[in-house]
Structures are given as structure tokens and as C-alpha cells.
Structure 1
């Protein structure tokens, strides 16, 4: 006989679990402590199974029968109610996790942003912090806002191209190409980790405009260089900036490498400056494990440094800050001085002295490219494709640096060699 609400309310627990049958496998189980659970017994695949349909009185008789009917409908379609319940619980877990991530401001799992950040965390230790920050910032500003929350497996080439076109439309074509390369790296990582089958960024390079290659402005005309050198010699600014301006053409280093110079790196008696690897523009491995960069100093450079030592020798920095002697001078100081002397930004910058030296050493003095590139700390390959060691050509580099200093000093005195 089917159960009634009255019979359920009057049912008392016994010393052992009791089962009050309703119909078609539905029954109420009463524990010795008085708890009441609805159960449904069924068979599937030749096996007898049971599922719980709730507790009484929270789940009444009518509700229990409706749940039992729903389970039987699944059985009629060949589906196991227990498996369906497990799948539903799994979906709820995923949905709850997604809601928690959204509330915390995190991207959905397996979205483009989620995979991109995972890729970034995998690779970031290989890069200098500043380089990694630029990559992440580029993705955060130009890519994540539009496809960050999209499932990475759903992103198509046209969809990604739309994102890149938006960057391109701002006139920063080179940034668009860099963003494309970063996206391609993320998708290659997704392929390797089984998230996607192919890389939708692979064939998009030719769909973007080609970036205009911009070199740092540099003076390569001997007469004009002579004018600049005379302006530097007559510069009325601070002694520290004047010394930096005088040395930049002679040492072939980047302005940032120069301005952070420390006195402990110099041996003026041997006329050599040893720049630590971590200060050079290299990949992180090169900064951590690479050899320092050796700069042979011409006699004119040594003279500038000895004169400057009287002023800044008590500071760790050769080019100390004007107000804070425990810091290097501002990174804008050199370019600001060039502008003050009347040389515009489209003609010369602090970084441009390297291009000036590279061009004129080859064209005016006939120095071998391999020697010039070694002093510029560029990787140069020989005829067999092997990279030259940066410490090679020391003798040739020393001769070159003195020859170059003599040449530019002659230009300054309006008597070119």
C-alpha cells in the first residue's frame, strides 16, 4: 500500500533501520535515531542501485514522488540517475568556482587571459623584470579587455585580427606586431598543453601593416659631429652632465649603462671599465650568468674620469644625482642637455652616439665590423654561424677606441683626420 503523510508522521524508529515502502522502488528509511531519508531503488545494466531523494519532512511525500518520477524518466532513456546527479554536482562545482573567480576579479578557467597568465608565469623567470612587465602590460591593455574572458579554444583568426587592428588604428603598428607575437606565444603554449589544436595567430603577420623601422637619430656627418662636440666642450650645465656628454661618444655604451656607472667598476691606471653583466642589455640568463662587458678607455676618457673623480669620488655613482648623491643622475639629463644646446630630438639623442660611432668607425676609419660590434656588445656570428665571444678582439678594440677618440677630438678642433 502506498505511503500517506499520516503514516509517515506516526512512524517511529526501531532498534534497526526501518524501510517504509511507497511504490515502484520509492521508500522512506527511518534510522534508529529518528532520521528519515527518501530512497529510490532501481536497476540499470543488470545492477541494483539506490539514490537519495532528500530527508523528511524537508522533502515531503509529494516532492519525493516527483523526484522519483524524474529519476524513472532518466532510466527510461537509458540514463543512470546517479550518474546524472554526479554530473550535476560537478557542474555546480565548476559554476561555483567560476563565480568565485569572477567575484575575485580573476578570468574564467581556460579563457585566453587565464592561459596567457599561466604562460607568463612559466616564462617570466627567463626575462629581465622590465621586459616581462612590458609584455604583461601590453596584454592587459591591448588584448585582455576584448578576448581575455573568451574560451581560448573558441578564438578565431578573424577575431584576433580585429583586436590587433584596434591597436594598429592608434598608429602604433610596431606595438600591434609585438602583441601578435605575444598572442602567438600564448597559443603555442596552449597547443603544447592540450587546450587548442592550432595557433590562430600563426598566419596574421601579413594582415598587419609593416612597421616603419625607426633608428635612434644620430649625426654621421663629420662636420656636424664636430659642431656637436664643440657644443659639448662649451656646455655650461653641471659638471656631471658635461662629463657624461663628453664620455658618451667615446665609450659606445647606452645612456642607461653609462649613467649607472659606479667607481668600483673602473681601473683608471689600466684604462679599463668593466661593466657588470646585469647592467647590460641582455636576456635574463645573460645578465645572471654572462660575462661582464669590457670597455677599453682612451686616454681622453681617462682624463675626463680623473677630473670627475675629484667631484663624485665619494659617491658610489660616477654620475651622481644633483640632489641625491646616493643615486645616479636622471635618465633625462643627457637628452635635456642636447636640447638646451640647440640639437633637436630628430637629429641626435643620447642613444644615437652608438649609431654615430658604428657608422663612422666603419666608413671614416675603416674598422672591421666584427670589432665594432664586439665593442657595442652585439652578438656577431662568424662565417660558420658561430657567435663571437664578447671578450674577443680586446687588443683590436683598445686600438680602435683610442683611434676613435683621437678622431673625434680632431673633429672638435676642426681638424678632421
Structure 2
């Protein structure tokens, strides 16, 4: 058996020659190159292929990078493969392919693939926001690492950095994104386990902040402060949102072509709805009057509400900025209009099914919802919208609205 002293004393000759170590393991001494470089000393294992018994050579590595002990261990592993009918060269090639795939599938590469795969499911603004969050708070820390190499502590470290800024809810959201990337990696064969799913209970708890909402007692003063502002289009946008209690994105993208004047209905297409289903909003007399008042101001655009360029709808925060300007920043948000409307509908005795349908909340039964999303409880929804408009008028102008509870059909 070879010793280090034998190997060190072995000098290159004109032709390659081999020093045997035993059991077909050799160290091949190769000649010096014409460039002047000293010839290499390479560990080789001779063996017969399992399927056809032809002689073959497995290259183990160069000495001294691969020591005598390491070479013998590698030879033993190759012999074990042969006993199981596996060709060591084929096994080595497959391992290199797998290693290259692992190196190529970094977390960032897979995360971007996941993002592209889901892009059509999201609104463009949400898709951009998700990618930007990953680029700012995830990729700089774990983006270059193979996705299979990450463990729960690595994911926790990313979330802890965000928690250190006091952004506890955001840290939880980032963990959800990472977990989603891993679920995609698992089903596409790029990973076997999801380290983010093991962080349950590890992140700091946070109290969910509910959207600030007006009370009924606030409405008279709110209307007075709103009317005192000079932003005509934005004031109408706020009033229209109060009358229809839809989400900000649905109002921002509202188009004149969606208004059915004859049937008094606003048809919102599914791609602009949170639940991705078309939503019809019955328009009260007051809502129609508002639209007639608005049309001379923005009828030259496809959008109901724009503030500067007619080809671009009002900005995402335009209505919120107006609410802040008139001094109601701490008391309400645009989304809070939905909570105000909902609580009044329940107090008035309308059926919960009709209320939830008009709020465009997700139905528990997705199939049932798909069949009935347009027509369910339509007559009562029409009554709800007119009752609500009359109620808002009463708060602004002092008229009396008759409670509906006694008249609601079962």
C-alpha cells in the first residue's frame, strides 16, 4: 500500500505510469507538460461495468487535494455501488447534474419563477408590491443561497430583521410569501420541505389594526367639512364611495361604460374585484343624480374619477388625502365606509345574506357563489342601496328614514 513518502518521491517521466495501492486503486503519475507545468498525480480506480463487464476507469481526484485516506474511502464507496449494480461513473455524473441544478435553483431564482407563475392571479399593483418586498427584505439575505440549503433559522433571521423595525405584521406577511415560494418549489421538484412552515409560534404576535370608521353621529359634521373643500371631483368620489361602499380600487377604476343608466346598475368586471367575480351595484336615485352632476366634469374620459390627466384615474391615495385635509384622518379611512354601512344594515334588520352579497364578501361555498354571484337577493340589495342613500341624506340634510326591520321578509 502506498504511503505519502512514496508519492512525494514519485517523479514524472516521459510517459504516464501508475503506482498500485491495492484492489485496483492506482495513483497515475503523468508527464510534465510542454508549458513547463509539473505533471499531475491522479487517483484512479479500475473496475468492470456492472451491465457488460467491460473494464472502465473512475477518476477520483488529484493528489494532494485528495489524500490517500480520502482516495481509499472514495474507492470503497465506488465498490459498494458496484455491489448494488450501479456504475460509479454514472452515479458521479448524475450527482454533478443534481449539484448544478441545486446551485442554479437559488431562492431568488425560484421566487421569481413563483411570482411569474402567479402574476395573472394578482392585480398588477399587488404583483409589483409583492416582488418589491421580496427584493428589499428577502433577496439581499437569502436570495443567492440554494433553496434546498435553507433551514428554519435562516427564514427566522429574515423575519427577525423586519421585526426589529417594529413591523410585526409585515414580518408575518413576508413569512407567508416565503412559505408560498417553498410550496411552489416542492410541487415543481425543486425542494422537499418547507422551512417557513416550521416557524409557527416563532414570530412576535401583533394586534390586527381595524380600519377606522365613522359613526352615525359623525356623519353630519363629516358632510359639512367635506362640502367646505374645493376639490369638486374628489368630493364626488368620496360621496359616491359612501353611497356604494365599494373598495377604493373599484372606485378608482370605475368607467362610464360600466354604468347602465336605464337599469340603474353599475357593472364592475371581475378583474377589478378582490374576489375576481363580477359585481353589480344597484344605483340609488342619489347615486344616479351624483353621476349626472359628475358627467360634465369627467365625461371626456373613460374614467369616472380623474384629477389631472383624463387618461389616468385618480391616484390610490387621492380620497384618503382629502379625508386628511378636512381633518378626519384619525377618525376614518375610505375602507371604513364599508364598516359603517354594514353595521347600519344589520341594525336595520336586512338579511345577512343580502348584506354580505352587496359587500362582495367571499361566499363559503365557491361553486354556489359562482352560480349565484349576480342575482342572489337582488331585490333586497336594491332596497338596501336606496335605504342607505336615504339614510345618508337624513344625516346630511335632516330628513327622517323609516327603519326597515319590521318590513324585511324572511
Q: 2:238 aligns with which of 230, 242, 245?
A: 245
Larger radius of gyration: 1
Counterpart-to-counterpart distance in 2, 1:339 and 1:134: 24
Change in CA separation of 1:303 and 1:45 when aligned onto 2, cut-off 3 Å: farther
Q: Are residue 224 (structure 1) and residue 210 (structure 2) matched?
A: no
Residue 181 of structure 1 deviates from its aligned partner by 1.2
Q: Are residue 74 (structure 1) and residue 44 (structure 2) matched?
A: yes
Residue 122 of structure 1 deviates from its aligned partner by 3.3
Q: Is the 8 A contact 1:108 1:149 kept in 2?
A: no
Residue 380 of structure 1 deviates from its aligned partner by 2.4
Q: Are residue 324 (structure 1) and residue 309 (structure 2) matched?
A: yes
> Which residue is 2:378 aligned to?
394
Q: Is the 8 A contact 2:152 2:195 kept in 1?
A: yes
Q: How does 1:377-392 map to 2 (within 5 A)?
A: 377-381=360-364, 386-387=368-369, 389-391=372-374, 392=376
Change in CA separation of 1:366 and 1:145 when aligned onto 2, cut-off 3 Å: same
> Which residue is 2:86 aligned to?
none
Q: How does 1:312-391 map to 2 (within 5 A)?
A: 312-321=298-307, 323-343=308-328, 345-363=329-347, 365-381=348-364, 386-387=368-369, 389-391=372-374
Counterpart-to-counterpart distance in 2, 1:40 and 1:189: 52
User: SS where residue 203 of structure 1 aligns?
Assistant: helix
Residue 179 of structure 1 deviates from its aligned partner by 1.1
Q: How does 1:13-412 map to 2 (within 5 A)?
A: 57-58=34-35, 63=38, 66-67=39-40, 70-71=41-42, 74-75=44-45, 80=57, 82=59, 108-220=103-215, 222-232=216-226, 234-282=227-275, 286=276, 290=277, 292-321=278-307, 323-343=308-328, 345-363=329-347, 365-381=348-364, 386-387=368-369, 389-391=372-374, 392-412=376-396
Change in CA separation of 1:127 and 1:45 when aligned onto 2, cut-off 3 Å: farther
Q: Is the 8 A contact 2:256 2:299 kept in 1?
A: yes
Change in CA separation of 1:121 and 1:339 when aligned onto 2, cut-off 3 Å: closer
Q: Is the 8 A contact 1:177 1:205 kept in 2?
A: no
Q: Is the 8 A contact 1:252 1:375 kept in 2?
A: no
Residue 250 of structure 1 deviates from its aligned partner by 0.7
The total of aligned residue pairs comes to: 350
Q: Is the 8 A contact 2:44 2:60 kept in 1?
A: no
Residue 204 of structure 1 deviates from its aligned partner by 0.9
Residue 360 of structure 1 deviates from its aligned partner by 1.4
Residue 317 of structure 1 deviates from its aligned partner by 2.1
Deviation per CA, 1:194-242: give whole Å up to 9, x if none.
Answer: 444422222212111223212221113x22123223433x334132122
Q: Is the 8 A contact 2:45 2:59 kept in 1?
A: no
TM-score normalised to the size of structure 2? 0.73
Counterpart-to-counterpart distance in 2, 1:132 and 1:260: 17
Counterpart-to-counterpart distance in 2, 1:314 and 1:136: 35
Deviation per CA, 1:339-382: give whole Å up to 9, x if none.
Answer: 33332x2211222211111111112x122222122112111236
Counterpart-to-counterpart distance in 2, 1:128 and 1:358: 26
Counterpart-to-counterpart distance in 1, 2:112 and 2:297: 48
Give the aligned CA root-mean-square deviation in angstroms.
3.9
* Gap regions ≥5 residues in structure 1: 1-25, 29-37, 99-106
